[in-house]
Chain A
Amino acid sequence: MLESLLALGGLVLLRDSVEWEGRSLLKVLIKKSALRGEQVHVLGCEVSEEEFREGFDPEINSRVVYHDFFRDPLNWSKTGEAFPAGPLAALRAVCRRTAPGPATIALDSLSWLLLHLPCTTLCQTLHTLSPQGSCPGASTPAEQVHVLGLLHEELHGPGPVGALSSLAQAEVTLGGTAGQASAHVLHRRPQQRPTNKTHWFSILPDFSLDLQEGPLLESQLHPDPHTHLVDPMAHLTFNLHLSEKEREARDSLTLPFQFSSEKQQALLHRRPGPASSHIFSEPDAYDDLDQEDPDDDLDI
């Protein structure tokens, strides 16, 4: 996964959320670039330099140049030693660097830049860093600039997010289920169809990537072979099973309110056959057969 993300130059957009943070994956990509011999420039706006460098080996730390926009980005301390020209000027300065060789720029984060700069300015600057842009001196792939941008996608509306994703050569959206992180990677290679793939991964303490087959939850769905399914009808004092004869009798029973063709025939062709029932009654001494006063309570 990492090789495909870092293969071409251009912007790799890491979209994370509060639940699934993306800074660890950004550091994984930075480590990969540094191990390939590239110099990595980090525009740090959200965490301090000490916190960002935590977990990196000294060899990797020596290749990481941290441009600190965390301590005093707005020059409130009035010491004048902060970057007066702003983070974008620092970006352009890195692009115009004199040292040869490929370089990686990590933007931590694009959300901070979008909050403080107009979206159009940011997009124009990112465009100049892309292979299609006019980054001077980036004629061969060896001198291309990889830009890794961390974006907290729930902070921005669809407009800025859409603009940034259209500039990106690859987009990684972080998500996951039940404690297992996933990265949905969308590649936009020039003159090719966009491809997307989902990888399940975990990040080791030394910021190397451990790809997994699928979410861990899948293994929990297979039934444990040591537990036997209990038959609930095993030890009952009554009989729930039907014999064959009983089953046949049950199936051939017609329900009283089911209107079948036999019933229809019986109703339509009622034959005056022998009367099915008769009522015989013999009045005894106490029965009063007076129809006019059946209750016998008139006092006339």
Chain B
Amino acid sequence: MFPELNNLLNTSPDRAEQGKLTLLCAAETDGSFLVHHFLSFYLKANCKVCFVALIQSFSHYNIVGQKLGVSLTAARERGQLVFLEGLKSSVDVFFQAQEKTHPLHFLREANAGNLQPLYEFVQEALKPVDSGAAAWRCPVLLVDDLSVLLSLGVGAVAVLDFVHYCRATVCSELKVPRAAGSQPGPQGPGHAQAYVHHQSHLVLRAEGLATGFCKDVHGQLRILWRASQPTAQRGRSLTFQYKIQDKSVTFFAKGMSPAIL
């Protein structure tokens, strides 16, 4: 996890919030550093994490996790992390006979079905286990990322229903990274993203700089807090620029990169 990002979000592993949906978007840049941040953050916060990884392999996340100080292998072995490796297990849909429906069963369906098997997988993974072992803190679901489901042919409504159910019944907190859709339209991916935007309590949006690539500033991060109660700070939004380094990310105010001062 990146301590500077924790400061910006005013949070720390021992004060992890529950019951919130956080949306991570990326537009014209790679936002995966946010996924790695939250993965290591919640593992350090001693939460039970279910990670549905559809983009990269387990070893990729493990390598980056080790740079950030968490070992995914160890977390998986002690039961803290349930990892669904989409790239590998998608092949199992075709070649292995399963007693119950595979979580990625939608790959076999001709028309865009629903994501109920995936939801049931998540629900099973995050069910509290009373085996007397160390009780984990709040359950966390991380999905990387939802736009892949749209590209695989799942309908936008099915994806929204999946997010709805996860938010409602399974998880205390839900991180849903998605890449921004290219063209917002009534039924396009931008539409689904806008709907999840409405449901989110916190939105982190990584954007490329409007002026193009830069060696010292890799992009801009917009943080939007959406509060449903008028008392809380509604619609508070902050913008920072960042530079990704090998083991950390530095954040600075717009135009205040140390390289140009």
Given A19-B235, A72-B168, A73-B164, is A157 in contact with B230 using a C-beta cutoff of 8 Å? Answer: no
Chain B 223-260 near chain A by CB (<8 Å), digits 1 or 0? 00010111100110000000000000000000000000
* Stretch among B60-68, B92-100, B195-203 lining the A interface: B195-203
Q: Contacts of A154 on B, CB cut-off 8 Å?
A: 184, 194
Selected contact of B168 from candidates A48, A115, A156, A207, CB within 8 Å: A48
Q: Contact between B168 and A70 (Cβ–Cβ < 8 Å)?
A: yes
Distance of A139 from chain B, by nearest CB (Å): 38
A54 within 8 A of B: yes
Q: Contact between A205 and B195 (Cβ–Cβ < 8 Å)?
A: no
Q: How far is A155 from B187 in the complex, measured between Cα atoms in Å?
A: 8
Q: Contact between B198 and A18 (Cβ–Cβ < 8 Å)?
A: yes
Q: Contacts of A46 on B, CB cut-off 8 Å?
A: 198-199
Q: Contact between A51 and B169 (Cβ–Cβ < 8 Å)?
A: no
B119 within 8 A of A: yes
Q: Give the interface size class of chain A.
A: 20 to 34
Q: Contact between B194 and A18 (Cβ–Cβ < 8 Å)?
A: yes
Given A54-B229, A71-B168, A207-B230, is A76 in contact with B116 using a C-beta cutoff of 8 Å? Answer: yes
Chain A 18-32 near chain B by CB (<8 Å), digits 1 or 0? 111101100000000
Selected contact of A21 from candidates B114, B186, B195, B228, CB within 8 Å: B228
Q: Look across to chain A and name the residue whose beta carbon is closest to the beta carbon of B184.
A: A154
Q: How far is A204 from B197 in the complex, measured between Cα atoms in Å?
A: 24
Chain A 48-61 near chain B by CB (<8 Å), digits 1 or 0? 10010011000000
Q: How far is A21 from B161 in the complex, measured between Cα atoms in Å?
A: 21
A235 within 8 A of B: no
Q: Contact between B194 and A74 (Cβ–Cβ < 8 Å)?
A: no
Q: Contact between A55 and B229 (Cβ–Cβ < 8 Å)?
A: yes
A47 within 8 A of B: yes
Q: How far is A152 from B226 in the complex, measured between Cα atoms in Å?
A: 15
Q: Contacts of A24 on B, CB cut-off 8 Å?
A: 228-230, 234
Q: How far is A251 from B186 in the complex, measured between Cα atoms in Å?
A: 65
Q: Look across to chain A and name the residue whose beta carbon is closest to the beta carbon of B119.
A: A76
Q: Contacts of A202 on B, CB cut-off 8 Å?
A: 230
A291 within 8 A of B: no
Q: Contacts of A205 on B, CB cut-off 8 Å?
A: 229-231
Q: Contact between B228 and A47 (Cβ–Cβ < 8 Å)?
A: yes
Q: Contact between B186 and A18 (Cβ–Cβ < 8 Å)?
A: no
Q: Contact between B157 and A115 (Cβ–Cβ < 8 Å)?
A: yes
B33 within 8 A of A: no
Q: Contacts of B119 on A, CB cut-off 8 Å?
A: 76
Chain A 75-95 near chain B by CB (<8 Å), digits 1 or 0? 011000000000000000000
Q: Contact between B235 and A72 (Cβ–Cβ < 8 Å)?
A: no
Q: Which residues of A (188-210) have their CB < 8 Å from a CB of B?
A: 202-205, 207
Q: How far is A73 from B157 in the complex, measured between Cα atoms in Å?
A: 13
Chain A 131-171 near chain B by CB (<8 Å), digits 1 or 0? 00000000000000000000010111100000000000000
Given A72-B168, A111-B195, is A116 in contact with B228 using a C-beta cutoff of 8 Å? Answer: no
Q: Contacts of A203 on B, CB cut-off 8 Å?
A: 230
Q: Contacts of A71 on B, CB cut-off 8 Å?
A: 168-169
Q: How far is A76 from B229 in the complex, measured between Cα atoms in Å?
A: 30
Q: Which residues of A (1-44) have their CB < 8 Å from a CB of B?
A: 18-21, 23-24
Distance of B44 from chain A, by nearest CB (Å): 28
Q: Look across to chain B and name the residue whose beta carbon is closest to the beta carbon of A55.
A: B229
Q: How far is A205 from B191 in the complex, measured between Cα atoms in Å?
A: 31
B165 within 8 A of A: yes
Q: Contact between B186 and A157 (Cβ–Cβ < 8 Å)?
A: yes
Distance of A244 from chain B, by nearest CB (Å): 49
Distance of B90 from chain A, by nearest CB (Å): 22
9 new A-B contacts, CB < 8 A, other than A24-B228, A24-B234, A72-B168, are: A46-B199, A55-B230, A70-B168, A115-B157, A155-B186, A155-B191, A157-B186, A205-B230, A205-B231
Chain A contacts to B: CB under 8 angstroms: 18-21, 23-24, 46-48, 51, 54-55, 70-74, 76-77, 111, 115-116, 152, 154-157, 179, 202-205, 207
Q: List 27 A-B contacts (CB under 8 A).
A: A18-B197, A18-B198, A21-B198, A21-B226, A21-B228, A24-B234, A46-B199, A47-B228, A51-B228, A55-B229, A55-B231, A70-B168, A71-B169, A73-B164, A74-B165, A77-B169, A111-B195, A115-B195, A116-B157, A154-B194, A155-B186, A155-B194, A155-B195, A156-B186, A157-B185, A205-B229, A205-B231
